[in-house]
A = this chain, B = another copy of it.
Amino acid sequence: MSEPKDRPYHHGDLRRALIDTALAMLAVDQNWAFTLREVARRTGVSHAAPYKHFRDREVLLRELARIGFVRLEETMTEAMSPAMPSTRAQFVAAAQACIGFACQNPALYRLMFSSDADKTMDPQLHEAAMSTFGILLGLLDKGQRNGSFRPVAVSALAAASWAQVHGLAMLEINKQLLEEKVGSSPVPAALDVLLDGMCCTD
């Protein structure tokens, strides 16, 4: 893991290396023990080096959150791309992709939606989050146009489906969805109930 000699004094692209290390840590450390010093250590650099690239811890966190939104958007877009029999099926696929992303990157997902990553502090982060949200809006709009979803205010559908998916994701990654509470397959069950309210009667 550590090459003692061959590293030149100047790293080359420490900024990117720090981000990569941090993302790798977030992917492994479910439990959110994230320290700048540990990131520096694993990157093989002194604990003060990161401050040349990030004003403070929060700035790095916000950058990680931004990348998280980009990746989530990619994940959801991929999940939606195959031919689907209905917009409803596409919605389910996107929702499950989002929840799957959260399960595979729990710490990153939590970070993305925590107030640690305050979006008012960082226009780029805000933009990334809005862009990801745009996928949902696009899907809802399409569903309304083709008669799949009820013609109520799209913002209401957006609020409901976002809350539902985010709620399921948060409960899942925090291990709250115990079988004794919500049965053995809560995610599809919950999505079905919600979609019954969103969809036009067949």
CB nearest neighbor in B for A182: B159
Contact partners of A93 in chain B: CB under 8 A: none
Residues B159 and A186 in contact, CB atoms below 8 Å apart: yes
Name the one of B156, B182, B187 contacting A158, with C-beta atoms under 8 angstroms: B182
The interface residues of chain B lying within 8 Å CB-to-CB of A189 are 153, 155-156, 159-160
Check A164/B162 contact, CB under 8 A, given A31-B115, A181-B133, A183-B156: no
Q: How far in angstroms is the closest Cβ of chain B from A122?
A: 14
Give A43 to B187 CA distance when docked, in angstroms: 44
Whether A190 and B174, one on each chain, are in contact in the complex, defined by CB atoms closer than 8 angstroms, is no
Chain B residues whose C-beta falls within 8 Å of the C-beta of A157 in the assembled complex: 193
For residue A183, give the distance in angstroms from its CB to the closest CB of chain B: 3
Q: Tell me, yes or no, whether A55 is within 8 Å of chain B by CB.
A: no
**Which of A8-16, A75-83, A165-173 faces chain B?**
A165-173
Q: How many residues of A are in contact with the other chain, CB < 8 A? A: 50
A197 at the interface (CB under 8 A from B): yes
B residues within 8 A CB of A35?
A: none
Q: Which of A153, A177, A189 has the most CB of B within 10 A?
A: A189
Q: Which 7 A-B pairs have the closest CB atoms?
A: A197-B197, A167-B167, A155-B183, A163-B167, A196-B197, A156-B189, A160-B193
Interface residues of A (CB under 8 A from B): 30-31, 113-115, 118-119, 130, 133, 150, 152-153, 155-168, 170-171, 173-177, 180-183, 186-187, 189-198, 201
Could you jot down 24 A-B contacts, CB within 8 Å?
A113-B174, A115-B174, A118-B175, A133-B181, A150-B196, A155-B186, A156-B186, A156-B190, A156-B193, A159-B186, A159-B190, A159-B193, A160-B193, A162-B167, A162-B171, A162-B182, A163-B163, A163-B190, A165-B167, A167-B167, A194-B194, A196-B198, A197-B197, A197-B198
